[in-house]
Structure 1
Amino acid sequence: MERHLPRPTDVDEAAAKRAERQVATFFVISMISAVLFCVAYFSFEVGESPDTFGRIGASNLTLGLSLGLALLCIGIGVIQWARKLMADVELSEPRHPVASSPEDRSETLAALSQGLEESGLARRPLIRNTLLGSLAMLGLPAIVALRDLGPLPDIKNTLEKTFWTPGARIVNDVTGRPLRPSDLEIGGLVNAEPEGLVEPYDGEREGIEYLEGVELLAEKGKAAVIVVRMEPEDVTEETSNWGVEGIVCYSKICTHVGCPISLWEQQTHHLLCPCHQSTFDLADKGRVVFGPAARALPQLPIEVGPDGYLVAVSDFREPVGPSYWERG
């Protein structure tokens, strides 16, 4: 084995200080690059300035360069630190075929402590602090990029508002046909939606603008209802005030975790969720009688419209679906 030769930084303190400043400079550049990533993220729209460089948009170019430079400078800084300032001693250690003995483990811990000391973290606070700063700043691009998961919901206009409006006709969610009271038998259940979300098979649009695509799916998921008919004397007065001749309408979305419900026990007037067995009494304002759901199933107030069809009196008076922290 060739004789070990000391490095300039091992014998010249001035050279060691220069190396330390070089390493710290790379870490500072990394911090600046992380901040530039955040600035570029909010400054450029996706697709803006397509002629920046080789038809690459300003957003992609600046985000890629700043994040790449932040990572690159941390890597270069660590390499320079290891090559010029950390202990430069060659070690050899035999392999052990079995688990290490307590003595070996103690020696390993001692070696780790020695390595930490030789790395110079304690003696070189400039490197330590700039390294920690660059690693901390590197988290900023990750936090900022989380914004691309989607916009924060406008709770009042998304979670707490559905497609139901005063006078909206209740239609079968398969055929799109509006429902009359005579269409429902005692003990029957119909899955329904507000008119405007389901086109009738016969193609009679009646001047209604039907939603499409993602907007349609989002509104369907919130506005889905079930309509059931019970004997009027079996329904509580408070429930019947929002119904018609024993016909009541409830949200189809379970208040536990949002599963769709339609398992109807007509003898007990109970509606069961197939996911976690939450059970709601539809004859008594949809109150929970069993299971993990924490609140009653929202009831939609309905009446008979001028044309004889069942219509909504208003939107739901409370948010549909699972509960959430911001719910008042």
Structure 2
Amino acid sequence: MSDDNKETTGRSGPGEDGRRERVIGTPSPAREKALLAEDDISAPAGVGEQLDEASMKRAERIVATFFLIAFAASVGFIAYFIGWSGRDGGMHGVTRTRESNFWLGGLMALSFLALAIGVTIWVRRLMTSKPIVQERHEMAADEETKAAFTEDFLEGAQDSGITKRPLLRRTLLLAAAPLGLAPLVLLRDLGPLPEKRLRHTYWAEAVEKAKSEGKKGVRLVVDGTNKPLKVSDFASPGSMITVLPEGIEEEVPEDQVLTQNAKAVTILLNIPADQFKPAKGRENWHINGIVAYSKVCTHVGCPAALYEQTTHHILCPCHQSTFDATEAAKVIFGPAARPLPQLPLAVEDGYIVATSDYHEPVGPSFWERG
């Protein structure tokens, strides 16, 4: 190597374009520059100069403020859930669902956000930022290692300020306490259990009322128009329509209409008579292939509203449970545990009528345990 080359590698100087060139082996000038401003609230306390006690007290008050905000938001979440959301149907009604979602989601998000900001400032401003090296050893620790761990743990606790800063410790516990109670409060949405409510629908009341008036049964009306359905109106094989018992809109109290409709909603199918296979004891439950099944899937209660005309399969779009409409809606695919309940039908004065309620509970199978 020439003397010129040796001289070049031992120093740094301006290049041809006037800029200083970094020589191999010299330290980077970037190490001499601070990446974070000393007065930056997000800068760790161990970077640059150590903060004085006044600055640390200020950061402590900021952290405590965020913890108090988290506590207030959590308490607001619980209070709204128990109190205001229970009025006028609350989140269990249709009219106030959007309002409930807005307040519950906003308060919970604010609580988690304030807690996260407080912890972040605590770590970055009140804890030292020094490198920690963890060596790998045998899984079984000896007494010396255990003692070292205990010492490091106590040192870390002391360094974090959790022991010497009671304001932070108390406000952190205060902020976290309601968050621990929130899941218990949300258990309210799992109940109450329906018990025997799904074993009977409005079909039973409507049929009983019709028979008390000397009729054979209650007429089926088209959902949406409330028009009574004649056999001649439903004469095309492969058809499907959603029906309800006549009078449900007029007889049921307004605050219960949605619930009663949800239980009584029924699909009416017209299956070619030569392909229909009535179950034993249900030979008279259909009208030349016109058959009625509950629209509520027996898996988790989704509407089984899809019908394949070529295969005569009823499908639930939620979890792909499939029922054979030609054989008492038995399950042929999917997670549903039992067939769709069937509604007994008859003809009176040309109209399709139901002669009784469903003989099985409607809806998900697990409710039968109640």
Range class of TM-score, shorter chain: 0.5 to 0.7
Q: In the alignment, is residue 236 of structure 1 matched against residue 286 of structure 2? A: no
Superposed counterparts of 1:1-328, under 5 Å? 7=52, 33=72, 37=76, 40-41=79-80, 45=84, 86-87=127-128, 108-109=132-133, 116=156, 119-120=159-160, 124=164, 130=170, 133-139=173-179, 143=183, 152=191, 155=194, 162-164=201-203, 165-166=206-207, 167-173=217-223, 176-181=226-231, 183-185=233-235, 187-196=237-246, 215=257, 219=261, 223-229=265-271, 230-231=273-274, 234-244=277-287, 246-256=289-299, 257-265=302-310, 270-273=312-315, 275=317, 278-305=321-348, 307-321=349-363, 323=364, 325-328=366-369
Give the superposition deviation at 1:133. Answer: 2.1
User: What is the aligned-residue identity percentage?
Assistant: 29
Give, in whole Å, the separation in 2 of the partners of 1:248 and 1:310: 10
On the 8 A contact 1:172/1:178 being kept in 2, the answer is yes
RMSD over aligned CA atoms reads 5.9
Gaps of 5+ in 2: 1-31, 33-37, 39-47, 88-105, 135-151, 208-216
On the 8 A contact 2:242/2:268 being kept in 1, the answer is yes
TM-score (normalised: structure 1): 0.54
On the 8 A contact 1:161/1:319 being kept in 2, the answer is yes
SS at match of 1:169: strand
On the 8 A contact 2:66/2:114 being kept in 1, the answer is no
On the 8 A contact 2:303/2:316 being kept in 1, the answer is no
SS at match of 2:367: coil
Amino acid at match of 2:268: I
Give, in whole Å, the separation in 1 of the partners of 2:73 and 2:229: 59
SS at match of 1:262: strand
Give the superposition deviation at 1:308. Answer: 4.4
TM-score (normalised: structure 2): 0.49
Give, in whole Å, the separation in 2 of the partners of 1:147 and 1:172: 38
On the 8 A contact 1:192/1:226 being kept in 2, the answer is yes
User: 1:61: which partner in 2?
Assistant: none
SS at match of 2:177: helix
The number of aligned residues is 275
Q: Aligned pair in 2 of structure 1 residues 44, 252: CA closer, same or farther (>3 Å)?
A: closer
Give, in whole Å, the separation in 1 of the partners of 2:269 and 2:368: 26
On the 8 A contact 1:196/1:210 being kept in 2, the answer is no
User: 1:102: which partner in 2?
Assistant: none
Q: Aligned pair in 2 of structure 1 residues 23, 118: CA closer, same or farther (>3 Å)?
A: farther
On the 8 A contact 2:221/2:229 being kept in 1, the answer is yes
Amino acid at match of 2:303: G
Give CA-to-partner distance per residue, 1:252-274, whole Å, 9 cap, x none: 34445534132234xx7x42427
Give the superposition deviation at 1:194. Answer: 1.8
